Amino acid sequence: MVIILSGDKNSGKTENARLVYEHLISNGIPVSGIISTTEIDKNVKKSYYAVDLQSGEERLIASMDLMSGEKLCNFYFFEEGFKFADSILKKNLSTRVKIIDEISQFEINKKGFYKTVKFLIENYNGHLILVVKNSNIERVINLFNLKDYCVVSIKNDVKDIILKKILE
């Protein structure tokens, strides 16, 4: 099953994904995947990093300042960061839960994590938690032709709802 963890921009989606991860791990449920961290300067997000939930290792995935890679909106996206994230996501296919933070316009444009998410939806037998902005939910559902999914808004008690879905 795909669980879409949704919220508005800067609403705490990543922090809630991290709390879900910690809650699942503390309950003995194996989890793998990636979560995003940001570099902020004067209240502006300047860069994003993909962080391996299991090792804590991270790679730069997008930056406003480092002008190389492919540009979308104000950010330049780096293939090396996506290759790192893809390798993390494709390993440990036996974990019960995989978290991907975040599916964005880049993936909707069939770039970034797109191919890996498509692969996981078709081949992964565990629960896949996708972090998605509210404005992108319908596009993500249609893009990946999702059938077995649920949307959990961060306005709800996310940890309990997701744990209940995983234990069903």
Question: In this predicted model, what pLDDT tens digit does every residue of 48-82 receive, in sequence order?
Answer: 999 999 999 999 998 988 767 777 778 888 889 99
Confidence band, pLDDT 50/70/90 cuts, at residue 156: low
pTM: 0.88
All structural domains of the chain: 2-36+79-167 (3.40.50.300)
- What does the chain come to in residues? 168
Q: What is the number of other CB atoms lying within 10 angstroms of the CB of residue 166?
A: 19
| Cα-based distances in Å from 55 to 32, 79, 103, 165 | 10, 21, 21, 26
Give the integer Cα–Cα distance in Å for 14 and 21. 10
Higher pLDDT, 154 or 15: 15
- Among 76, 72, 73, smallest CA distance to 64 is for 76
Nearest-angstrom CA–CA distance, 75 and 47: 8
